Amino acid sequence: MRMMEFAIPAALALAASLLLVSCGGKKGLKKEYRMQVNVGSSTYWGMGAAKFAELVRKRTNGRINVKPYYGSQLLKGAQLNSSQMVAAGAIDCALESTINTAPMINAMNIFTMPFFVNTYKRLDRLEKGGTGSAIFAKMRAKRLEPLAWGENGFRQLTNSKLPVKKPEDLRNLKIRVVGSPIFIDVFRALGADPVNMNWGDAVTALQQGTVDGQENPAGILLAVKIFQYNKRMTRWNYAIDPLILYWNKEQFDAFPPDIRKAIRKAAVEATRYQKALCRAGLDDGTALKTLKNEFGYDIKIPDPLGYLRSKGMEITEINDDARAEFKKNLKSVTDSWTKQLGAEFVKNAKKDMEE
Ligand code: X2X
């Protein structure tokens, strides 16, 4: 009888300690939390991921060790699979573009609706408003915990053939796009020849000249030295892709409250830095000030457009007439995507941006 009284709690204690070990040791924490990032470490996006890892380590006193895996290594390059992998718990967290997460959360295509967002101010309002919260709620329902908005940036067209000033100039240009349906729709409507491929393969395709051009924001183009392959850029701000820092929801919810709080704080701070990197020299001067005053960081390329010009790029700015012309050609795409996203959702997004 005595033996039994002793044996049961001892067995329970042993079982409990084995459970802890199987969960990865002390307090069930893992040695490493793997983070998916589609692009390389030298992009502003990649630098934001490194900042997050650094801040999480600092704010949790080394208890949480996030390791970014760049270039979609964890996905073998298949950039559109990030959200599925994080939701399934095969990857712990991600700093990912809304474009790459859109196959799971259709509402994220709102940022890629052609000539819809247009300015940083409108984007900020969209993220902070009901649209942003609705997107975050949709993520939670799919087992992703959103922690903060980051940014890739306004996407600009580059090519090796001619300055693109109007829709006709795009005719028959072979343009690499992400394999997300809205991109194919947009470039087909403009008369181009869109080819979808992962970003990892796109750089090789640009190098080898198997595509004439691509569309990406400055923070990516600087890192891959786009001027080596494409000398023409059209600055048309036709779409933007925010990034979202997200974590597998079940795992995040199971962290003790102090760790959750520390991770959230790190996410907000890291994305503030990351957004400022992407906007530096492209906004009204706020981003450069944020980097210097809040992060003590002197960015290497404070004037990205001037820098690209100094490397021999010709940059075409789109005027209002040209923008109207592009929009006219894209009307069927805008109409069909408004239907796919829901007329009410699109109407509310417009309202968010105007407030
Ligand atoms: O694939 C792209 O074009 C990139 C790098 O911008 C994204 O991941 C959406």
Per-residue pLDDT, 322:
95
94 CA → ligand 1 middle, Å:
14
* Confidence bin at 124 (pLDDT 50/70/90): very high
- Whether 106 contacts 342, CB under 8 Å: no
244 CA → ligand 1 middle, Å:
13
216 CA → ligand 1 middle, Å:
7
Query: What value does the mean pLDDT take over residues 128-145?
Result: 98
To test the pocket of ligand 1, the residue of 72, 100, 112, 155 to mutate (highest count of ligand atoms within 8 Å of its CB) is 100
Q: 255: Cβ–Cβ under 8 A, 6 or more apart, which residues?
A: 263
Taking only the tens place, the pLDDT of each residue in 194-230 is: 999 999 999 999 999 999 999 999 999 999 999 999 9
The proportion of the chain whose per-residue pLDDT surpasses 90, expressed as a percent, equals: 91
Taking only the tens place, the pLDDT of each residue in 236-291 is: 999 999 999 999 999 999 999 999 999 999 999 999 999 999 999 999 999 999 99
Per-residue pLDDT, 275:
98
156-239+308-353, superfamily in CATH? Answer: Bacterial extracellular solute-binding protein, family 7 (3.40.190.170)
Order of strands across the sheet that contains 232-235: 193-196, 174-177, 213-216, 156-159, 232-235, 314-317
* Confidence bin at 27 (pLDDT 50/70/90): low
Query: What value does the mean pLDDT take over residues 170-190?
Result: 96
| 98 in contact with ligand 1, CB cutoff 6 A | no
pTM of the model: 0.92
Tell me if 10-154+241-295 shares its fold with 156-239+308-353.
Answer: yes
Per-residue pLDDT, 25:
45
Per-residue pLDDT, 238:
97
Map out the domains of the chain as residue ranges: 10-154+241-295, 156-239+308-353
The overall average pLDDT reported for the chain is 93
Order of strands across the sheet that contains 93-97: 66-69, 33-37, 93-97, 240-248, 144-154
10-154+241-295, superfamily in CATH? Answer: Bacterial extracellular solute-binding protein, family 7 (3.40.190.170)
Per-residue pLDDT, 277:
98
Per-residue pLDDT, 45:
98
* Confidence bin at 13 (pLDDT 50/70/90): very low
350 vs 352: CA distance, rounded Å = 5
